[in-house]
């Protein structure tokens, strides 16, 4: 019997007969995968079965707990906020880079983690490299970035090569898997709070349950721009907020009610990493509509980190960091 045979026999019996895995069953299955014990046929069967059945909050929690035990954490003091960035961008520039710099300028340290290969999209790290960042940052490098600039990025290939391999299977399988959800829940920085973009509203509830079970003190999750943790500056953004006691509340961000002027999506578009990098620099210099996307993202991050309770006040604080040049200074320190 293979290492995943039991789990597949439970999860792979079809819509009406499939059973969810217990926490122990899920942990055993994921442990076998992450330790390289599952053969390719088992692995494919398990991932497809979980994709069809859909993972529960309890399964997700067990999966991520096993992953957390095996990843290489970023050493040193934890940042106040972590932001997973695995979706990449097909059309718009990654405002998240500028928002993270603005947050650091406001005193909120931020750890970003992501995947460098997003088929058909520009990964955040590609834009960082176009800005001048050195490629292939290790967890130790990320710790140095945090100490120097208050903001850091580390790739999943550096802190967890096995998860990187699992994410790479999407191109061969033609499907996303439970690892794409897990990637948004692992915490290489051991940060107490998280801001995360989720594409599907129906996953909000189980995602919130998993976040609470995994020990996050607070989480702000929403349907961001192109799946990333970036609130939409053009229209309302819907999401949920997880409080330290486990309470979950829905929330909505209306950019125009906050005073953000109307402009077109075209003004946020970037076709190459180099174009995106130029827009990040322009936004941090206070130029063009892109600065509104950066400021709104930073304001949302201030709420996620527990540094502000009111979004309008948070937006004023983030906008000041852009206007006085302190956010741009954080980018320069990050890239140094």
Q: Say whether pLDDT at 217 is over 90.
A: yes
**How far, in Å, CA of 220 to CA of 2, rounded?**
39
**How far, in Å, CA of 330 to CA of 336, rounded?**
10
User: What is 81-335's CATH number, 1.20.1070.10, 3.30.2350.10, 3.40.1030.10, 3.40.50.720?
Assistant: 3.40.1030.10
pLDDT computed for residue 172 by the predictor: 82
Rounded percentage of the chain residues whose pLDDT exceeds 90: 85
Q: Residue 251 corresponds to which tokens in the numbers above?
A: 């929330």
Cβ-contact 117, 168 below 8 angstroms: yes
Q: Say whether pLDDT at 139 is over 80.
A: yes
Residue 124: closest CA among 100, 149, 150: 100
3-state percent breakdown (helix, strand, coil) of the chain, nearest 5 = 50, 10, 40
End-to-end CA distance of the chain: 53
For 204, residues 6+ apart whose C-beta sits below 8 A from its C-beta are 198, 221, 239, 240
Give the range among 100-109, 166-175, 247-256 with minimum mean pLDDT.
Answer: 166-175
- SS3 for 269? strand
DSSP secondary structure letter of residue 244 = T
pLDDT computed for residue 237 by the predictor: 96
pTM equals 0.95
DSSP secondary structure letter of residue 268 = G
Mean pLDDT of 84-106: 98
Cβ-contact 78, 251 below 8 angstroms: no
- For the stretch 271-304, pLDDT in tens is 999 999 999 999 999 999 999 999 999 999 999 9
Q: Residue 327 corresponds to which tokens in the numbers above?
A: 């956010």
Distances (CA, A) of 221 to 16, 57, 103, 204: 31, 15, 17, 8
pLDDT computed for residue 12 by the predictor: 84
Whole-number mean pLDDT of the chain? Answer: 95
For 106, residues 6+ apart whose C-beta sits below 8 A from its C-beta are 298, 302, 307, 317, 318, 321
**pLDDT category of residue 214 using cuts at 50, 70 and 90:** very high
Give the range among 32-41, 171-180, 244-253, 256-265 with minimum mean pLDDT.
Answer: 171-180
Phi/psi at 242 (5° precision): -100, 125
pLDDT computed for residue 244 by the predictor: 86
**pLDDT category of residue 222 using cuts at 50, 70 and 90:** very high
**pLDDT category of residue 1 using cuts at 50, 70 and 90:** low
pLDDT computed for residue 199 by the predictor: 79
Mean pLDDT of 179-204: 92
**pLDDT category of residue 2 using cuts at 50, 70 and 90:** confident
Mean pLDDT of 141-152: 98
Q: Say whether pLDDT at 130 is over 80.
A: yes
Residue 52: closest CA among 18, 92, 96: 18
Give domain limits for the chain. 5-54, 81-335
**How far, in Å, CA of 233 to CA of 224, rounded?**
10
pLDDT computed for residue 57 by the predictor: 96
pLDDT computed for residue 27 by the predictor: 98
């Amino acid at each position: 019997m293979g290492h995943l045979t039991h789990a597949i026999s439970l999860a792979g019996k079809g819509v009406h007969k499939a059973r969810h895995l217990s926490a122990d069953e899920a942990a055993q299955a994921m442990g076998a995968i992450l330790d390289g014990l599952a053969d390719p046929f088992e692995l494919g069967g398990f991932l497809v079965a979980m994709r069809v059945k859909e993972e529960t909050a309890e399964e997700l929690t067990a999966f991520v707990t096993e992953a957390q035990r095996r990843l290489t954490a970023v050493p040193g003091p934890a940042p106040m906020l972590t932001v997973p960035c695995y979706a990449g961008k097909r059309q718009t520039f990654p405002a998240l880079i500028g928002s993270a710099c603005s947050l650091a300028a406001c005193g909120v340290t931020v750890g970003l983690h992501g995947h460098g290969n997003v088929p058909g999209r520009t990964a955040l790290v590609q834009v960082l490299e176009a800005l001048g960042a050195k490629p292939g940052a290790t967890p130790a490098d990320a710790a140095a970035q945090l100490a120097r600039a208050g903001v850091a990025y580390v790739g999943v290939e550096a802190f967890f090569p096995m998860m990187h391999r699992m994410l790479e299977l999407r191109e061969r399988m033609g499907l996303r898997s439970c690892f794409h959800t897990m990637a948004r829940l692992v915490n290489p920085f051991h940060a107490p709070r998280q801001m995360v973009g989720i594409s599907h509203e129906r996953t909000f509830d189980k995602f919130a349950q998993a976040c609470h079970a995994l020990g996050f003190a607070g989480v702000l999750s929403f349907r961001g721009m192109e799946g990333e943790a970036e609130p939409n500056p053009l229209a309302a953004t819907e999401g949920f907020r997880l409080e330290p006691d486990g309470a979950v509340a829905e929330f909505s961000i209306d950019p125009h009610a906050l005073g953000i002027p109307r402009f077109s999506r075209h003004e946020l578009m970037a076709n190459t990493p180099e174009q995106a990098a130029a827009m990040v620099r322009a936004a941090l210099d206070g130029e063009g509509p892109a600065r509104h996307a950066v400021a709104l993202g930073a304001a949302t991050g201030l709420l996620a980190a527990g540094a502000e309770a009111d979004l309008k006040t948070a937006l004023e604080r983030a906008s000041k960091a852009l206007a006085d040049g302190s956010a741009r200074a954080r980018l320069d320190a990050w890239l140094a």
